[in-house]
Structures are given as C-alpha cells and as structure tokens.
Amino acid sequence: MNKILKNIKVPTGNICIMQAEKGKLEFVSLQDYGKAKNIKADFLGYTKEINQVPHGDLLPLEEKWVVTVSTQYGCSMNCKFCDVPKVGKGLNATYDDLKNQIISALSLHPEVKTTKRLNIHYARMGEPTWNDNVLIFTKDVRKIICPYIGRSLVHPVISTMLPKNNKFLNEYLNSWVDIKNDLFKGDAGLQFSINTTNDKQREELFSGNSLDLEEISKIGKMLDLPKDRKYTLNFAIGDEFEVNAEKLRDLFNPEKFMVKITPIHLTNACKENNIVTSNGYFDYSPYREIENNLKNVGFDVLVFIPSIEEDTSRITCGNAILSNKGLENEHT
C-alpha cells in the first residue's frame, strides 16, 4: 500500500495526501452531519429551509462513511471554479491507485468493522470518464473492502463534467449505467455537472471543454432508465448563473433526472474569477426561487449546504497538495 505523506484533520474527517504510482493523490474520509441538518429535499420528507449548517455532532461512521477519491493526477478540464488543474495535467490514476486510496481511507479507522452505508465518490481530483480503471475497480470494490468493513452497503458515485473531446463518453456512461442498474441494483450514482442553463456561461466556466446542453441532453435521452435513484443534474450556483427551469425540463426528463443545488465552493480559483454564492452558507435566499421553479416543472430537488467550517478547511479538491508543496519527506 502506498505511503500517506500527510494526514490533515478537518472538522468532519481527514484529507490525506498519498504518494502514489505517478505522483501525489488526494483522498478524503468524512463523516456527515445527517440529512436533517444539511439538506432540503421535499421529495424525501426534508422540508425545512437551511439558513446555516452549524458544526456539531456528526453521524458515526458506522451509520455513514463518505470516501472521495482522485481518479487523475490533477485535471485537464481547466474549470474556472476549480483549483485542481494547478496540481497537474490529468494523468490517469491506476487501478492500484484507486484501490490504495480506498484501503488507506478505511484503515484510518480500524475500529469500524461495518457501516450501514459507504459512499465512494469519484470526485476528488480529475475527470473520471477519462479513466477506464474507475469502471474496472468499481466492479471489484465490494470484494476489496470486505476484509475491512465486511459486506457493508457500498454506494459508488461518478460526477462528470462531460468532456467534449472524449470520443468514448457515451460508451463510458453506458457502462457505468450497467454497473449502476445491474451490479448495484440501482444503488449507485451518476451526476452531471451543469451549474447553469446558459451555454455561454457554461463555455466560460468549463473553459470550452464541456459539451453544450443540447449534446448533454442527447446523452441523457440515450441512457437507460435508472433503477432506484435518478441521475442527478448538479448545480453549484453562483450569483450570476442562469437556472431556467423550463429550459432544463425541455432538455432533461424529470422522470429520469433530479436536480441537486449547492453553493459554489470557496476555492482560490473562484476568488480569482469572482465566482461566488453570496450568503450561500448563511441564508436560504440564493436557493429558494430556483428550487421552487424546478419543483413547479416536475423535478425532484435536493439542496445541500455544507457548513462554513467544511469549506474553509482545505476540503475543496487539490488544496491539500497545493498548500503542502515540498512535503516529499513528511508523513504521519
């Protein structure tokens, strides 16, 4: 197993920097506050508006464990809201890199022998749809974790920026849907990073590297119907981002897709590019009208708001590596 160079304690868990096969990778192991504290989702029965998530008691890892792993060394997408491109150009993590991140995360808490839910998010550094190892590894992951947490329920999630230059994107997403629907009986996630319904804004935000909405819509129509959990359209909203509910409904079937709304993370890239969700961590007003409009056209809507302590503790992708240059000989 590869060496952990740095283990950074944050309010909800750990960010680790690992010396891997091609350089440094980040992964995180986190606890959750619980849905009653940090989400509003009327369709799930969580109807209370969130006006700030106070840092406090966390769910035990035996209830829910979140591990987020890197699928690449850096990233080539160059999104204007993300710091990861500063880490590297996006070489693919190997199968063993993915395996070692998961095992290292579970090994942080050898006292935990089982959990009711292990969420594995392929969403730390990199664009996962460039990396076939993610598909191969996910097919094996339950066998890999068994010596550590037994036959715990595993919920793997891919979040993609839908790169326009990936000629095999359709094939990749179809393969993931097969894994979701067949191998995991629906208990897996597929998330599309959308952020705005304005193609000009998306072109700027994703540096011209993401498909336009019409092309993404065609992919969505091509995918098989999801078992259990719907596919997710992610909107990390900024002050100037357009979210047109009718336009989104015309492009994506609410019977197939739900919408997740979050504030934009407080990254250095966002500061440099003046991208912000004003009062997004302290008041529900940035989300209320968007949520209502989306519900009115038929979408299930989940609003997720982290605590400000989470977002100011280097929990955003790539920041642990970027803030710890020169730690080759430092480890815990």
Q: What does the pLDDT look like over 212-240, one tens digit per residue?
A: 999 999 999 999 999 999 999 999 999 99
- Taking CA 221 as the corner, what is the angle to CA 215 and CA 223, rounded to the nearest 5 degrees? 105
Q: Is pLDDT of 208 > 60? A: yes
Looking at residue 202, its pLDDT comes to 96
CB 122 within 8 A of CB 134: yes
pLDDT value at residue 332: 33
Model confidence at 49: pLDDT above 50: yes
Using one digit for the tens of pLDDT, what is the confidence trace for 108-152?
999 999 999 999 999 999 999 999 999 999 999 999 999 999 999
Mean pLDDT, rounded, for 33-60: 94
Q: What is the pLDDT of residue 190?
A: 98
Is the pLDDT at 331 greater than 50, yes or no? no
- Ramachandran assignment for 208, one of left (phi > 0), alpha (psi -120 to 50 degrees), beta (any other): left
254 phi-psi bin (left φ>0, alpha ψ -120 to 50, beta other)? alpha
pLDDT of residue 268: 78
Domains and CATH numbers, the chain: 4-322 (3.20.20.70)
Closest CA to 202 of 129, 128, 121, 275: 275
Token pair 């961590």 in the structure block, residue: 281
Residue 284 has pLDDT above 70, yes or no: yes
Distance, CA of 130 to chain centre: 16
pTM > 0.75: yes or no: yes
Q: Whose CA is closest to 5, among 100, 72, 83, 85?
A: 100
* Average pLDDT for 154-181: 97
